[in-house]
């Protein structure tokens, strides 16, 4: 899961004080191995100093935010090379300093689907987007609501 999924959920329809069941569901799905993220997503969010940062910190050391294993590190290299060759330097650097390429590498290695709020953009775009890079590397991607449906999430009152 991309950091924007966590951020948009907390700032929007699934705020922790409104739909705590969403966050409990994430924990349950993570414990079963059906939902994971990566350590770089953890690092992006842990410094926010808000309720989401606290939630993330409480999951430090769990499979939810694992550091990249050697195969993920190896998969990262061609992704980074592609981004550097395909996009202007400033935009490639911005993309690579965040979690996005690591998330794609983990999904590729583990045969998982990237969940992101980003949309596929035209191939002439100057900014790398997760869906475009996923497509280049044969990694499936979906949006948050499709993830919820595919995993059978139900939040009742």
* pLDDT tier at 92, thresholds 50, 70, 90: very high
d(CA 17, CA 147): 22
At residue 156 the predicted structure's pLDDT band, cuts being 50, 70 and 90, is confident
pLDDT above 90: residue 157:
no
Note the pLDDT of residue 153: 97
Q: What is the pLDDT of residues 21-63, one digit of tens each?
A: 999 999 999 999 999 999 999 999 999 999 999 999 999 999 8
Chain-wide mean pLDDT for the chain?
A: 96
d(CA 58, CA 60): 6
Listed in sequence order, the residues at least 6 apart from 11 whose beta carbon sits closer than 8 Å to its beta carbon are none
User: In this model, does residue 112 exceed pLDDT 90?
Assistant: yes
Mean pLDDT for the stretch of residues 98-126: 97
pLDDT > 90: what percent of the chain? 96
Q: Are 128 and 116 in contact (CB under 8 A)?
A: no
Percent of the chain at pLDDT exceeding 70: 100
For residues 149 and 153, what is the distance between their CA atoms, to the nearest angstrom?
6
CA distance 127 to 118: 12
């Amino acid at each position: 899961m991309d950091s924007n999924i966590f951020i948009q959920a907390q700032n929007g329809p699934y705020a922790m004080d409104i739909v705590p069941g969403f966050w409990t569901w994430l924990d349950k799905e993570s414990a079963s191995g059906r939902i994971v993220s990566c350590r770089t997503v953890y690092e992006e969010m842990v410094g926010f100093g808000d309720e989401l940062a606290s939630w993330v910190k409480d999951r430090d050391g769990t499979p939810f935010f694992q550091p990249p294993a050697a195969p993920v590190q190896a998969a990262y290299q061609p992704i980074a090379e592609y981004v550097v060759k395909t996009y202007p330097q400033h935009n490639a650097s911005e993309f690579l300093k965040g979690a996005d390429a690591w998330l794609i590498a983990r999904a590729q290695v583990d045969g998982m689907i990237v969940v992101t709020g980003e949309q596929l953009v035209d191939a002439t775009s100057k900014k790398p987007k997760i869906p475009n890079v996923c497509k280049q590397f044969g990694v499936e991607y979906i949006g948050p609501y499709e993830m919820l449906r595919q995993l059978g999430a139900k939040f009742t009152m």
